[in-house]
Amino acid sequence: MRTSADRSEKYTAKYVATTVGLKVASQLSGMKSGYAAAVNDLVPKEIATQAMLNGSGTQRTDYPFYLNFGRELWALGWKGIAGQSATVAATGIEVKYAAYGLDPNLLKSIALTVFGITIP
């Protein structure tokens, strides 16, 4: 059995800057392409959400909350949550943001128009 000192040295060696740098460098191209895919999927949805907000008379100070609502809905789809499960999750998210004082009808409209999720 290894001693606690041996274990500690092995653990410390994993986090030496050069070792970590090599691990990150080997994964960098995949990380960049994954980020690009996520951004290319998210940004048009945020733009569509903002366009809906612009036409709704919503105060600009509330925009970040509506955009965060949209990001949470986007994350459902990005994680592969769809169908009835997405509807149930989106309903919970809508309740949360409505409790913050946001317009429930606008939240439901964003969910349907931008993300294709019908919230009852």
Say how many domains are in the chain. Answer: 1
Contacts 24+ apart (CB under 8 A), 61-67: 62/102, 65/97, 65/100, 65/102, 66/97, 66/102, 66/106, 66/107, 66/110
Asked if residue 120 is part of any domain, the answer here is no
- Euclidean distance between CA atoms 119 and 11, whole angstroms: 48
Structural domain of 66: 4-115
- Euclidean distance between CA atoms 81 and 79, whole angstroms: 6
- Please determine, for residue 22, whether its predicted confidence score (pLDDT) is greater than 90: no
- Euclidean distance between CA atoms 54 and 6, whole angstroms: 61
- Euclidean distance between CA atoms 45 and 115, whole angstroms: 8
- Please determine, for residue 15, whether its predicted confidence score (pLDDT) is greater than 90: no
Q: What is the pTM of this model?
A: 0.80
CATH number for position 101: 1.20.58
The pLDDT confidence band at residue 20, using thresholds 50, 70 and 90, is confident
Q: Within a 13 Å sphere around the CA of 38, how many CA atoms are in the beta-carbon half?
A: 13
pLDDT value of residue 108: 97
Taking only the tens place, the pLDDT of each residue in 42-94 is: 999 999 999 999 999 999 999 999 999 999 999 999 999 999 999 999 999 99
